[in-house]
A and B are shown apart, each in its own frame.
Chain A
Amino acid sequence: NAGVTQTPKFQVLKTGQSMTLQCAQDMNHEYMSWYRQDPGMGLRLIHYSVGAGITDQGEVPNGYNVSRSTTEDFPLRLLSAAPSQTSVYFCATFNTGELFFGEGSRLTVL
């Protein structure tokens, strides 16, 4: 049972490059979300989705895009990476009062 799978686990980008962080779940949960975790700031919500075809912004959405074409997948796109986007990114599903997290993707932007 894989749960929530994130790829890649590590990535280094140069300023201005674009990339997509992949997130896939096999639990058939409707709700999915992306968080970023920075030292001393906890987890902050970037974007979330309540179901296929529906997405909305969280607390820190600038510089990120998302789409939800299927229940299983919720990719996070960085259009033009900036050093301020250096962080650990977590994808999560939500069901019956609990968030289920992936193992995280550590992104460094030089």
Chain B
Amino acid sequence: TQLLEQSPQFLSIQEGENLTVYCNSSSVFSSLQWYRQEPGEGPVLLVTVVTGGEVKKLKRLTFQFGDARKDSSLHITAAQPGDTGLYLCAGEGFAGGFKTIFGAGTRLFVKA
């Protein structure tokens, strides 16, 4: 069974601080995705990383896929209150993306 472990589970920081969220597994994935979820809504895709060692940037968010394609990180620079939400990593195995598995999530709260 493929498992994805996210850390930390909860993070409360002040506006302007930097943070990193980690997603680790003992399994290899064909791709890793990061979703963001706000209360009362479904998760929305932020980014997909496919190649080992790949780094993608989305404004103040930087995503990295580990060389061995077993882990990923999300770094937020100068966090803002609008970044508050639940961040989920998700792994797509080789059986198809419709069987994507999810980590438990990191709940981020950014205080103004």
- List residues of chain A with CB under 8 Å of any chain B CB: 4, 31-33, 35, 40-45, 48, 50, 58-59, 90, 92, 94, 97-99, 101-104
Contacts and interface: CB of A to CB of B under 8 A. Distances in A.
B73 interface: no
Contacts, number: 66
A94 B97 contact: yes
Interface stretch (B42-50, B51-59, B63-71, B74-82): B42-50
B99 A58 contact: yes
Contacts of B97: 31, 94, 97-99
Contact of B42 (A32, A44, A97, A101): A101
Given A40-B9, A40-B104, A43-B88, A50 B45 contact: no
Given A48-B98, A50-B98, A58-B99, A99 B40 contact: no
Nearest to A94: B98
A55 to B, nearest CB: 11
Contacts of A59: 101
